[in-house]
Chains A and B, each alone.
Chain A
Amino acid sequence: MFKGARLHRVRRAVQSAFLLITNSYYAAIPAASFYQGPLKGACIPALHCYACPLAWGSCPIGSLQHFVIVRQFPLYVLGLIGALGIFVGRFACGWFCPFGWFQEFVYKLRLPKFSAPNWVRHLKFVWLGAVVLGIAWWTQEPWFCKLCPAGTLEAGLPWLGWAARGSDYAEGMNFLTWLFQFKIVLLVCLVLLAGMMKRPFCRFACPLGAMFGLTNKVSMLRLNVNKETCTECGLCARTCPMDLKPHTDVGSIDCIRCYACTGCDSIKVGTVFGKP
């Protein structure tokens, strides 16, 4: 019997709580300002734009690009991502990331549904290497941040609102630039895709997901499939928010450790130290 509704509700609650807690600088709302304190140096392990007016922490990808631009090895960022990932793999994507939560929400829209070919998953490593690292190094500008749809949603649009309110902090901002308009188009395209495919940004483009996904292979927590009891009915695949087949892709770098598939008795959470 497949069961997992309770875990799904718990995950939704954790995602919502994480979104509210990490974007809790509510003093920014009446003042049309943004948080500028020392906590901005703390990387939040999710695609969480530090330009969001309510955000008090920074995005690991933005911080990574910063270190690339100032020509310093990003020890701190890699250490944080690795230290979390080595315990729980890509768990942050499934339980913390607000942009992943947003895409799962949009997928509920009544739009035609499609799958994508498997090779497209590797594109996120191209974005990580070429855009986050390569182009940032070459141009000394955080070009992934400039294009990131999570940034457009969490920061670009709120700042448009702040500018409409006449915020002093938005003085000089030009929302008619080709770049901002291009970002809006990218976000609209991503929203449409998210309505038709499961978590397209997470699967095909997210550089943070790419980094966390690599830790899936060596993480302490892992999923175990009991091949003797698995009937390959495909129910786990239908519940998987990343369009994986958990009974065969159990160690996939795309697994976001949402544990929806553990609703089946044949799939259980284990550790590198053996079965619990």
Chain B
Amino acid sequence: MKKVTFAVFLVLFVLFTVFGLRSLQFDETQSNGAIICISCIGVG
């Protein structure tokens, strides 16, 4: 049962990563993966 649980979650997370990467759009003004936001540290 533990092996099945491990396998199910592994497939799920790999699919998440693959589809997540495919949906990301990187451009110079806004990166969907991360925002370069200095104001996030509270000094903006």
A43–B33 Cα gap in the complex (Å)?
A: 8
Residue-wise interface mask of A (34-61) relative to B, using a CB-CB cutoff of 8 A (1 in contact, 0 not): 1010101111000001110000001000
A38 touches B23 (CB 8 A): no
A62 touches B19 (CB 8 A): no
Distance in Å: Cβ of B26 to nearest Cβ of chain A: 6
A142 touches B40 (CB 8 A): yes
Which residue of the partner chain, among B6, B9, B41, contacts A51 with CB atoms under 8 Å?
Answer: B41
Most buried by A among B3, B16, B23, B42: B42
Interface size class of B (residues with CB under 8 A): 20 to 34
Distance in Å: Cβ of A238 to nearest Cβ of chain B: 30
A39–B10 Cα gap in the complex (Å)?
A: 25
In this complex, how many residues of chain A approach chain B with their Cβ under 8 Å: the count is: 54
A76–B12 Cα gap in the complex (Å)?
A: 12
Task: Tell me if A97 counts as interface (CB < 8 A to partner B).
Answer: no
Which residue of the partner chain, among B14, B35, B36, B38, contacts A159 with CB atoms under 8 Å?
Answer: B38
Stretch binding the partner chain, chosen from A21-29, A127-135, A176-184, A257-265? A176-184
* Shortest beta-carbon contacts, A-B, top 9: A76-B20, A79-B16, A41-B33, A79-B17, A75-B20, A82-B13, A58-B34, A145-B40, A179-B42
Which B positions have Cβ atoms within 8 angstroms of A?
2-3, 5-6, 9-10, 12-21, 23-24, 26, 31-38, 40-44
